[in-house]
Amino acid sequence: GAVVSQHPSRVICKSGTSVKIECRSLDFQATTMFWYRQFPKQSLMLMATSNEGSKATYEQGVEKDKFLINHASLTLSTLTVTSAHPEDSSFYICSARDSGGGSTDTQYFGPGTRLTVL
């Protein structure tokens, strides 16, 4: 149980284009999903918290107009990197909290998306 999928797993795009990453909880409902980015040998950095049916909450320093998040259903959240630049190249990982999992904060992660902007 508690499987999260992420698509695509790897994407290469040209500078200035937009890229959409999907995160799905496959066997549970997730009212809350999280988007992280991770640089090599570094800790997970939370970008934003995505709540179903409402606006995402962005962490300090993360541009909401650049990283558009949509959480339209209990099983799907999307992250769109708009006007991507080479410095946006990173490993993007989503996670989901099982809404039926009680009060704990256990997060179930997707396999990640490797974004390379040329």
Partner 1 sequence: SQKIEQNSEALNIQEGKTATLTCNYTNYSPAYLQWYRQDPGRGPVFLLLIRENEKEKRKERLKVTFDTTLKQSLFHITASQPADSATYLCALTKGNYQLIWGAGTKLIIKP
Minimum distance from residue 2 beta carbon to partner 1 (Å) = 8
- Are the C-beta atoms of residues 47 and 64 closer than 8 Å to each other? no
Q: Does residue 115 interact with partner 1 by CB under 8 A?
A: no
Minimum distance from residue 32 beta carbon to partner 1 (Å) = 5
Q: Does residue 25 interact with partner 1 by CB under 8 A?
A: no
- Are the C-beta atoms of residues 111 and 7 closer than 8 Å to each other? no
Q: Which residue carries 């300090």 as its tokens? A: 60
113-117/10-13 β-pairing: parallel
Q: Write out the residues near partner 1 by the rule CB under 8 A.
A: 2, 4, 6, 32, 34, 41-44, 46, 49, 91, 93-95, 97, 104-112, 114
